[in-house]
Amino acid sequence: MIVYRIPARVRAVLFDIDGTLYSNDEYARFQTQVLIDEFARVRGLAVNEAALLVERSRAELAAAHGTGTTSLGNAMGALGIDTPTSVAWRSRLIDPSRFLAYDASLSAALAAIMDQGQGTPPRLVAVTNNPRSVGEATLEALGVARLFQRVVGLDDTMKSKPAAEPYLLAAQLAEAPVEECLSVGDRYDVDLSVPLSLGMGAILVSGVEDVYELPGVLRHWRSDSAM
């Protein structure tokens, strides 16, 4: 875990979902592969040829923007798969309940974060590059949907992270100024660099195990800042 910045007051915590609120390599591979398979089918390509095109697109976009990585959605967008098509594919092909189950430790950690509000509990908003329906289904499978005010999905702004629009919408829905929002995610270039540029806080996690530790991190930060 790397803490880049924590706001003096945290009114909203914006969580990435995939690779952040769960750690499941099989599901992560499936999400990528099923979209590459569909891309290959639509374009009449061999799957390995389609995979190479996607990886080349990701590398070119990352180099052009000076980042370490880029999202799969943006890579496919550069190959002519527009956002409405990406939303339709993901909505049809991705079913989180096949891979994920209730996580009591995650539920407890998120509830503990909300209990640390300074007067008003911080609102939790999930921000995902999947359609909102897939994000909501993921939170349901993990048993934490009730704790989140809203999921901001790809179809809400038609912009894929690291665009600013999903984060600005999340802050608006949480009724929180950007400087009082904290973004949590597993990829710096995709989940944190833009929130930091907007004035938000940011914490890099390596998976859900780090999220379990967040309540303690925030308690320690609050104790230090009170001294």
Whether 69 and 121 map to the same domain: the answer is no
Final residue of a structural domain among 63, 98, 133:
98
Final residue of a structural domain among 48, 70, 98:
98
Whether 112 and 207 map to the same domain: the answer is yes
Whether 156 and 51 map to the same domain: the answer is no
Whether 167 and 119 map to the same domain: the answer is yes
* Total count of domains within the chain: 2
Whether 147 and 194 map to the same domain: the answer is yes
CA gap 208, 186 in Å, rounded: 9
Whether 19 and 87 map to the same domain: the answer is no
Contact indicator for 160, 83 with CB cutoff of 8 Å: yes
Whether 54 and 156 map to the same domain: the answer is no
* Confidence (pLDDT) at 46: 96
Query: Which range marks the domain in which residue 11 is found?
Result: 2-24+100-226
Whether 42 and 109 map to the same domain: the answer is no
Whether 140 and 68 map to the same domain: the answer is no
* Confidence (pLDDT) at 227: 46
Q: Look at strands 123-127 and 148-152 and give their pairing.
A: parallel
Whether 57 and 135 map to the same domain: the answer is no
Whether 16 and 40 map to the same domain: the answer is no
* Confidence (pLDDT) at 199: 97
CATH number of residue 131's parent domain: 3.40.50.1000
Q: What is the mean pLDDT of each run of 10 residues along the chain (227 residues)?
A: 93 96 94 94 94 89 74 85 92 95 97 79 95 96 96 94 95 96 95 96 97 91 59
* Confidence (pLDDT) at 118: 61
Final residue of a structural domain among 75, 98, 121:
98
Q: Is 200 helix (H, G, I), strand (E, B) or coil?
A: coil
CA gap 5, 124 in Å, rounded: 18
pLDDT in tens, 92-118: 999 999 999 999 999 999 999 988 756
Q: Is 145 helix (H, G, I), strand (E, B) or coil?
A: helix
Tokens of 154: 């790809």
Burial call 132-168: b when 16+ CB within 10 Å, e when fewer: bebbbbbbebbebeebbebbbbbbbbebbbbeeebbb
* Confidence (pLDDT) at 223: 58
Whether 32 and 44 map to the same domain: the answer is yes
